[in-house]
Amino acid sequence: LNAVLDGTRVADFVVVMLSAGVEVDPLGELMLRSLESQGMSTLYTIVQGLDKIEPAKQKTQVLGSLKSYITHFHPEQEKLYSLDSRQECSNLMRSLCNTTPKGVRWRDERSWLLAEDIEFASSGTASTVITGVVRGKGLKANRLVQLGDHGLFQIEKIMAAPITRKKKGEAMAVEDIHAEEILEVPDEDQDELLDLAPDEAMKGDDNDADMDDGAISVATTAKKGVLLDDHHYFSDDNPLDPTQQPKKVPKGTSKYQSAWYLGEDVSDSGSDMEDFDMEDESSGSEEIGPEDGLEGYAPKPPTEGAPSEYPQSEMFQDLDEDEDAKQLAAFRKNRKVDEVEDDKEFPDEIELYPGVAARERLAKYRGLKSLRTSEWVEDEDRAYEPEDWRRLLRVPDYQGSRSRFTREAL
């Protein structure tokens, strides 16, 4: 498979052969799908063994089936050439000689070399010499080259390859020996092998000066979540719920009405304002509210005497790890599958129980802005960023930058 992909990567024409009597095996289908994903140049499809089909009336049916199969991967295939017909073989050769290959976009947009000979370096200080034909864009000595799976390398120099000629009366080809003709050598603009720009270049960049000045190197407070509507969401330790924060509201406002006020909705004048504490002062400990999603689990307080609903106590047995793991696996297996499937199908839906009002269950989401469209305040996150975060390349206009860099590089 890898050999087929490598050969197709440099080919100007690709010829796919189908059998009229044997179906395509899984490996052949994998090759077709892989070639379709990689991209290929002009494609031709040929059929072998069409004359062996008996009776002869089934030839048209078999040919139509093969055409339907290949057009499933490559809809542009309008004709299949039969190797059993001399006329169709001549037409195929004529098409190969007269048709201009359409090429592959990702291949033609850059320089690539069809190697004919490789002399690997004999030592660590020696250079590897590659002889071949440059295709696509022009090869520049200042650019880096990718040598297969060996990695990126710098170019020392580009030389003209010797031309092999065969003289009359000689069976062996003789190379013309001339002085080395150096076509191009790298200059001070040669690309380096660094993945990131050096610190000196980043410090002297005027575009990032404002970014470096506002960076915070030391954490002043504990790391918090996303800051939206004056509240940090998704924090690991969130002791105060936004619905329980004390706020200033007009006098005479009820508890339900005060829940609809956001910080920016109240005027600055405090003459007609009063502090309204959303937290119940009578409760000494933190209680579970409807917004926590635990409604319906706590039983109602009994109003009269009734027999105990608890079953008879059993002796506790401390199980070993293997038995505990088996029971846990059995418990997970016996869970209701419908609830899991519903959660996967509707992950953004919340079930509201009959005994809880929706305004209480969804109190903490009131006035919440969209995470996608709201501005992300990232000043507090500077101290927790990776060291090389600010050195990474930020491209606001990818297509325009890509076109400009391609023109400058090639």
Residue 40 has pLDDT above 80, yes or no: yes
**Which is higher by pLDDT, 279 or 163?**
163
For residue range 126-138, what is the model confidence (pLDDT) as tens digits?
Answer: 888 989 888 888 8
| DSSP string of 317-348, one letter each residue | ----HHHHHHHHHHHHHTS-HHHHHHHHH-TT
More confident residue, 392 or 126: 126
Digit-coded pLDDT (tens) for 232-241: 666 655 554 5
- Tens of pLDDT, residues 82-99: 888 899 999 999 999 998
User: Which pLDDT score, from 0 to 100, does residue 165 have?
Assistant: 67
Give, in degrees to the nearest 5, the angle at Cα 201 between 196 and 204: 145
- Give one DSSP letter per residue of 200-212, joined into a string: HHHHT-GGGHHHH
pLDDT of residue 280: 47
Specify the pLDDT at position 300.
53
Would you state the pLDDT for residue 213? Answer: 46
* Nearest Cα residue to 176 out of 190, 186, 166: 166
Tell me what pLDDT residue 172 has: 57
pLDDT tens for 327-383 read 777 776 766 566 667 677 777 777 676 677 887 887 777 776 777 777 777 777 777
More confident residue, 297 or 273: 273
Token code pair at residue 192 = 């380096």
pLDDT of residue 137: 85
Q: Is residue 386 reached through a cis peptide bond, with omega within 30 degrees of 0 on the bond before it? A: no
pLDDT of residue 348: 72
Name the amino acid, one letter, at 204: G
Contact call for residues 173 and 192 (beta carbons, < 8 A): no
Neighbours of 239 (CB within 10 A): 7
Three-state SS annotation for 124-186: CCCCCEEEEEEEECCCCCCCCEECCCCCEECCCCEECCCCEECCCCCCCCEECCCCCCEEECC
The pLDDT score that the predictor gives to residue 281 is 44
Rounded Cα–Cα distance for residues 279 and 244 (Å): 5
Tokens for 244?
Answer: 């329980």
CA distance 66 to 339: 46
Domains and CATH numbers, the chain: 2-106 (3.40.50.300), 109-184 (no CATH), 321-352 (no CATH)
Q: What are phi and psi of 130, to 5 degrees?
A: -120, 125
Please give the pLDDT value at position 97.
Answer: 92
Tell me: pLDDT of 228 over 60: no
The whole-number pLDDT of residue 349 equals 75
Average pLDDT of the residues in 310-320: 61
